[in-house]
Chains A and B, each alone.
Chain A
Amino acid sequence: MPENDAKSVTPNARVYGAGHKLIGKNYVTADLYAKVTGQAKYAEDFHAEGMLFCKLLLSPLPHARVKHLDVRQALAMPGVKVILTADELPPPGDTLTDNGTVIRANPKSERALNMEPLYQGEPILAVAAVDELTAAEAIEKIRIEFEPLPFAVDPLETLRPGGPNPRTDGNIWVQPPTPPAVAGAPPPAPPPPTIGALKWTEAEFADAKSGRLPMGKTPDEWSYGDIDAGFKNAVLVLDETFVTPDTSHQPLETRSALSYWQNGKVYVHTGTQSTAQTVPAIARWLNIDVSKVVLISEYTGGGFGSKVTAGVSLIIPALLSKRANAPVMMRISREEETFIGRARPSLLGRMKVGFSKDGRIIALDMFVISNNGPYDANGDVPTSGRIVSLLYQPEAMHWRGVTVLTNTPPRSAQSSPGGLQGIVIMEPIVAKAARKLGLDQVAIRRINCPEGKAPFGPAVQGKRPYATSAFLKEALDRGAEQFKWSERVARTPKRVGTKVRGVGVSLSCYVGGTVGFDGLLVIKPDGRVNFQSGIGNLGTESVIDVHRAGAEVLGVPWEKCDVTWGDSSKNLPFTCVSGGSQTTHAMTRAAYATAMDARKKLQEIAAKKLGGQPDDYIVANERVSRKGGGAGMALAQAANYAIQLGGIYDGHEVSADLNGRTKASAAALAGQGLLAAAKDNYPRDGATFSYIASFAEVEVDVETGKYNIVDFLAYADVGSVIHPRSLGGQVLGRSVLGIGHAIGQKWVYDPHYGAMLSTRFYQSKPPTILDVPVDMQWAALDIPDPETPVGARGVGEPPVGGGCASILNALSDALGDEIFRRAPVNADTILTSLEAGHPMQHPLMAHI
């Protein structure tokens, strides 16, 4: 890292939010004082009187069946209260979707405990005792015998002819056919997926020997355009294999949970990415009614996709607590978190890409395999194809993929799931093509990148879906200018002594928002506005930020606003999960709709009380007043009138299109002031995505193989900026999460025992403050998305792929194309490959 003598405090100062009072402005979030003084309570900080502690017995084997279990000695220990086994878990409940469809619970999905563990570290049973020492000692006293079963930790091994199956009945998920419709009855729901076996032939595996991904049959594929013609017309065709790492989410707060029961309700303290949506998840896992679940989660110590609706393991303390009739705390250690926490699946990818003379991608054949772990299929495989098709706009594309089950810990979405992998497989090929065609790296991306209502993926009912908007070209141009791209490229010499410099640029994008959620607010008789927030508090600050859009509409100063969050008993509205970068988009829309509902009600109240028509009144400066001056009233007074009027004004009647949970919350708050509740029904033409142009410079020491990231810039096309500081934190923070995939994070397995060798931070080290430049730069276009009223899109995922790929591209700029075929790239990768003149790490075997 270069010595930087800059002492400026805020290198990223830029003014956003022109024309707004709150939107685009910095402010102090309401949760910060508690955080900074240590008063903020995360799950493990709670203490209930008479609380018991829980410890888990984890499987030592990657796949086994419990043959014999004897818990008598453990149960006889003083202080041991309850031992919970898989037999005592309630059957998982079905899912009732918001449109009333029932999704049947899949008996083959993950459960909290399992007598046939499918990965090393899977919980088999749990003990509750008066303290952790006793619980841990009880675990030691349990006699357990296993019957080892065949296992596979490598997705390719299980696809080989005669290869071991990770589950007794196969290695992939298959969708059984939906039974035929019966006349007069509603169409039957598709049955849950089941397990099947997929094996490829020896002939199909021939390529694997040379480090090229074998391409056998896959259950899923799609295509558009004439790919054969594209390859025929291409002046350059590259066919490359690239492999991305498995990476644990590693939130600093593990998935500890405290649970107790009161009056037939279960209370759960845990970290989650959604206060509102975790309640039905807990109800489903426990197979109880949602009204019986109270979730307290004011602060969550990181999630990154691993705590989308918390985790199924939280039912362990809940069930132990019920049996013991005492609160139970389950503290999860860092190693346990590696097993039962989540991880991003590795994607093994092969791309055949045809380029025209000017670098345009005219044909793309993409093939991906994921290492999914033993349970539900993640969306990384299909998503990778759609993201690549959007981000590089190939004129013709063929995509194939298969999600392969293995005896490794369960995966889940991690920031930019499938997006990071697709981008990281694609970008080195684009970089190589530019070198071969003699094109500038920014120019080749400029010619391929999406613009406007860019299409993506295969046609659905004859028409390809498209994005709401894309201004990525502008972000690329402005980013190149700010990064002084041309100057850096032209700078000579590239090598000084043993140090070689390289520059890299990457495109990046991901889904940037959903629609259709609810907002809820009350204007209190004291004139304060209370926003109800069902968003999880992950630290992105969207839990508070999005309501600034509502306050802006109402013309209320932020000092007069309160936000209620973090406790499902506090009457929260139906809210999206904070995953997939949905929240800023979805919940600013809901906040806007709700504020518009409040405004309409204020105008109506004013007209009723002061005469005239509602349209004669405007809402501003904490008042509703007649246009052009004259009669008016303060919001406080209007709130009092709302209570007098009742009905739709104080929440006793609400709109029929609201979600049931929003209605219940509104009913509980009714009569407290002017209540506004609205569903986001705004139209949207297209699917919402956000985009990033990422730039990096590295300096590689070719004698040691060590390299430093010298500079980094992420230029964001994420719609209107809501809160610059939290946006900057997301843009750079998620970039660094991606950078971790480039510079060192990975899982490593012992293939003989199926044992994971990277269970702690130091074995799969996330970037530290010294791994990244001390003055990273970010900027945002601040161009509103045309398809959403506030103009804001989500930001969490889009920077991740670009963070990783810009570093990889800078490395290949410095060292050439013959260094690596997989990420991460470590000093030994560089040294050994430089010496040999070709990539020394077998892409398909390096982490096994």
Chain B
Amino acid sequence: MTENDDAKMIEPPQSGLTRRDLIKGVILGGVAISSSSYLFRASTLAAQTSRGTGDRLLTINVNGQQRRADVMKQETLAWTLRHKLGLTGTKLGCDRAECGSCTVLIDGVPHYSCSVLTHTVRDKKVLTIEGLASPDGALHPVQQGVIDEQGFQCAFCMPGFIMAAVAFLKANPDPTRMELAQGLSGNLCRCQDYDKILTAMMRGAENMRSASRA
């Protein structure tokens, strides 16, 4: 992201909050910033406090729906999804772009949603684990691959892995295990169930290929 892009994506400050302050705020203890106004009723209070953030109502396209949310300038997409839109399938494992548990697709490209500001996705399409199955409940072929092979253990990392795999397999429908591993290498599984995950994702690739042939 260039300086200019950055400037464009961020709304002009309304209450004396400079861009520098904002960036400092995001870098600072992520907990403090990324979690600031969980409760709707708390937003008035947050506005009264010294941060002077000034919340904004915005509309984002998530899982094919236009969703409105009260989003602070420094709020991450992971926070908005989990705490404003009730989409808790997206997990926070580190909140610092280390583990990939929060991976979602933005216009079809996997991103760590803990490190994306919600304001930057206003004109884009966000897809989370909850939006993957079709409305009639039929699982996505990659989800079905996990069912077929009992992929994953504790599954806290699973939504991130599945989203990364869905994007990778769309571009690379017939990978080797090695190629798929490369595609999933931005995601950490602490149960270290990589072999079974890879098997499940390979099954998912196979399911995707048969679905596209059908």
By a beta-carbon cutoff of 8 Å, the part of chain A in contact with chain B is 1, 3-7, 9-12, 26, 28-29, 32-33, 35-42, 44-45, 47, 51, 53, 55, 77-79, 130-134, 136-137, 250-253, 299-304, 331, 333-334, 538-541, 723, 725-726, 728-729, 732-737, 740, 760-762, 766-770, 772, 774-776, 778
Q: Are A769 and B94 in contact (CB under 8 A)?
A: no
Residues of chain B within 8 A (CB-CB) of A6 are 176-177
What are 16 A-B contacts with C-beta separation under 8 Å? Answer: A5-B178, A10-B199, A33-B147, A35-B158, A42-B156, A131-B37, A133-B32, A251-B156, A300-B154, A302-B191, A333-B30, A729-B191, A735-B192, A736-B194, A769-B189, A770-B185
Q: Complex: how many Å from CA A299 to CA B154?
A: 7
Q: Which of B33, B45, B93, B147 contacts A252 (CB 8 A)?
A: B93
Q: Complex: how many Å from CA A55 to CA B82?
A: 19
Q: Are A252 and B154 in contact (CB under 8 A)?
A: yes
Most buried by B among A734, A762, A774: A774
Q: Complex: how many Å from CA A135 to CA B199?
A: 44
Q: Which of B83, B153, B159 contacts A729 (CB 8 A)?
A: B153
Give the nearest-CB partner of B79 in chain A.
A132
Residues of chain A within 8 A (CB-CB) of B83 are 47
Q: Are B98 and A252 in contact (CB under 8 A)?
A: no
Give the nearest-CB partner of A49 in chain B.
B39
Contacts A9-B199, A32-B147, A300-B154 aside, 12 further interface pairs with beta carbons under 8 A come to: A9-B202, A10-B149, A37-B133, A39-B130, A41-B88, A44-B92, A51-B39, A132-B31, A137-B49, A539-B193, A729-B193, A733-B192
Q: Complex: how many Å from CA A769 to CA B191?
A: 11
Q: Complex: how many Å from CA A51 to CA B42?
A: 11
Q: When A334-B95, A732-B195, A760-B98 are in contact, do A38 and B154 touch as well, CB less than 8 Å?
A: no
Q: Are A36 and B143 in contact (CB under 8 A)?
A: yes
Q: Complex: how many Å from CA A253 to CA B190?
A: 9
Q: Complex: how many Å from CA A26 to CA B200?
A: 14
Q: Which of A37, A331, A769 contacts B143 (CB 8 A)?
A: A37
Give the nearest-CB partner of B37 in chain A.
A131
Minimal beta-carbon separation of B146 from chain A (angstroms): 5
Give the nearest-CB partner of A732 in chain B.
B195
Q: Are B156 and A302 in contact (CB under 8 A)?
A: yes
Q: Complex: how many Å from CA A140 to CA B167?
A: 42
Q: Are B45 and A79 in contact (CB under 8 A)?
A: yes
Q: Are B38 and A132 in contact (CB under 8 A)?
A: yes
Q: Complex: how many Å from CA A6 to CA B178?
A: 8
Q: Are B188 and A733 in contact (CB under 8 A)?
A: no
Q: Are B42 and A252 in contact (CB under 8 A)?
A: no
Q: Complex: how many Å from CA A251 to CA B153?
A: 12
Residues of chain B within 8 A (CB-CB) of A767 are 192, 194
Give the nearest-CB partner of A251 in chain B.
B190
Q: Are B49 and A79 in contact (CB under 8 A)?
A: yes
Q: Complex: how many Å from CA A301 to CA B157?
A: 8
Q: Are B206 and A334 in contact (CB under 8 A)?
A: no
The answer to the question of B184 belonging to the interface, with a C-beta cut-off of 8 Å to chain A, is yes
Residues of chain B within 8 A (CB-CB) of A79 are 42, 45, 49
Residues of chain B within 8 A (CB-CB) of A29 are 150
Q: Are B35 and A28 in contact (CB under 8 A)?
A: no
Of residues 165 through 203 on chain B, the ones whose CB sits less than 8 Å from some CB of chain A are 174, 176-178, 181-182, 184-185, 187-199, 202-203
Q: Which of B46, B130, B184, B195 contacts A38 (CB 8 A)?
A: B130
For the complex of A and B, list the 5 residue pairs with the smallest distance between their C-beta atoms, beginning with the closest: A38-B89, A539-B153, A301-B156, A539-B154, A132-B35
Residues of chain B within 8 A (CB-CB) of A540 are 153
The answer to the question of B162 belonging to the interface, with a C-beta cut-off of 8 Å to chain A, is yes
Minimal beta-carbon separation of B193 from chain A (angstroms): 5
Q: Are B195 and A45 in contact (CB under 8 A)?
A: no
Q: When A42-B156, A333-B31, A770-B182 are in contact, do A4 and B176 touch as well, CB less than 8 Å?
A: yes
Give the nearest-CB partner of A33 in chain B.
B147
Give the nearest-CB partner of A37 in chain B.
B133
The answer to the question of B112 belonging to the interface, with a C-beta cut-off of 8 Å to chain A, is no
Q: Are B45 and A136 in contact (CB under 8 A)?
A: no
Q: Complex: how many Å from CA A539 to CA B202?
A: 21
Give the nearest-CB partner of A11 in chain B.
B199
Q: Are A36 and B45 in contact (CB under 8 A)?
A: no
The answer to the question of B101 belonging to the interface, with a C-beta cut-off of 8 Å to chain A, is yes
Main SS at interface, chain B: loop
Q: Are B150 and A768 in contact (CB under 8 A)?
A: no
Q: Are A131 and B42 in contact (CB under 8 A)?
A: yes
Q: Are A38 and B128 in contact (CB under 8 A)?
A: yes
Residues of chain A within 8 A (CB-CB) of B38 are 51, 53, 131-132
Question: How many residue pairs, one in A and one in B, have C-beta atoms under 8 Å apart?
Answer: 246
Give the nearest-CB partner of B185 in chain A.
A770
Q: Complex: how many Å from CA A136 to CA B34?
A: 11
Q: Are A38 and B199 in contact (CB under 8 A)?
A: no
Q: When A38-B128, A38-B159, A131-B36 are in contact, do A252 and B31 touch as well, CB less than 8 Å?
A: no
Give the nearest-CB partner of A31 in chain B.
B155
Q: When A3-B178, A4-B176, A12-B195 are in contact, do A131 and B45 touch as well, CB less than 8 Å?
A: yes
Residues of chain A within 8 A (CB-CB) of B42 are 79, 130-131, 134
The answer to the question of B91 belonging to the interface, with a C-beta cut-off of 8 Å to chain A, is yes
Residues of chain B within 8 A (CB-CB) of A130 are 39, 41-42, 45
Q: Are B29 and A136 in contact (CB under 8 A)?
A: yes
Q: Complex: how many Å from CA A602 to CA B8?
A: 73
Q: Are B193 and A538 in contact (CB under 8 A)?
A: no
Of residues 59 through 97 on chain B, the ones whose CB sits less than 8 Å from some CB of chain A are 82-83, 86-96
Q: Complex: how many Å from CA A80 to CA B35?
A: 15
Give the nearest-CB partner of B150 in chain A.
A725
Q: Which of A5, A41, A134, A300 contacts B45 (CB 8 A)?
A: A134
Residues of chain A within 8 A (CB-CB) of B87 are 38
Q: Complex: how many Å from CA A766 to CA B98?
A: 11
Minimal beta-carbon separation of B15 from chain A (angstroms): 15
Q: Are A729 and B150 in contact (CB under 8 A)?
A: yes
Minimal beta-carbon separation of B184 from chain A (angstroms): 6
Q: When A4-B178, A6-B177 are in contact, do A761 and B91 touch as well, CB less than 8 Å?
A: no
Q: When A131-B35, A726-B150, A737-B192 are in contact, do A762 and B95 touch as well, CB less than 8 Å?
A: no
Minimal beta-carbon separation of A819 from chain B (angstroms): 25
Q: Are B199 and A133 in contact (CB under 8 A)?
A: no
Q: Are A733 and B153 in contact (CB under 8 A)?
A: yes
Q: Which of A1, A32, A133, A299 contacts B46 (CB 8 A)?
A: A133
Q: Are B155 and A539 in contact (CB under 8 A)?
A: yes
Residues of chain A within 8 A (CB-CB) of B117 are none
Residues of chain B within 8 A (CB-CB) of A35 are 146, 152, 155, 158
The answer to the question of B17 belonging to the interface, with a C-beta cut-off of 8 Å to chain A, is no
Residues of chain B within 8 A (CB-CB) of A55 are 31
Residues of chain A within 8 A (CB-CB) of B101 are 252
Q: Which of A38, A723, A737, A769 contacts B185 (CB 8 A)?
A: A769
Q: Are A26 and B150 in contact (CB under 8 A)?
A: yes
Residues of chain A within 8 A (CB-CB) of B208 are none
Give the nearest-CB partner of A712 in chain B.
B195
Q: Are B149 and A132 in contact (CB under 8 A)?
A: no
Q: Are A725 and B196 in contact (CB under 8 A)?
A: yes
Q: Complex: how many Å from CA A735 to CA B32?
A: 37
Could you mark each residue 126-148 of chain B with 1 if its beta carbon is under 8 Å from any beta carbon of chain A, else 0? 00111011000001000100110
Minimal beta-carbon separation of B16 from chain A (angstroms): 17
Q: Complex: how many Å from CA A835 to CA B186?
A: 34
Q: When A4-B177, A36-B162, A762-B98 are in contact, do A302 and B39 touch as well, CB less than 8 Å?
A: no
Q: When A134-B49, A728-B196, A769-B198 are in contact, do A302 and B154 touch as well, CB less than 8 Å?
A: yes
Q: Complex: how many Å from CA A16 to CA B68?
A: 52
Q: Complex: how many Å from CA A20 to CA B178?
A: 36
Residues of chain A within 8 A (CB-CB) of B35 are 53, 131-133, 331
Q: Which of A7, A12, A302, A736 contacts B177 (CB 8 A)?
A: A7
The answer to the question of B105 belonging to the interface, with a C-beta cut-off of 8 Å to chain A, is no
Q: Are B176 and A133 in contact (CB under 8 A)?
A: no
Q: Complex: how many Å from CA A1 to CA B197?
A: 18
Q: Are B177 and A774 in contact (CB under 8 A)?
A: yes
The answer to the question of B99 belonging to the interface, with a C-beta cut-off of 8 Å to chain A, is yes
Residues of chain A within 8 A (CB-CB) of B24 are none
Q: Are A38 and B90 in contact (CB under 8 A)?
A: yes
Q: Are A131 and B39 in contact (CB under 8 A)?
A: yes
Q: Are B149 and A253 in contact (CB under 8 A)?
A: no
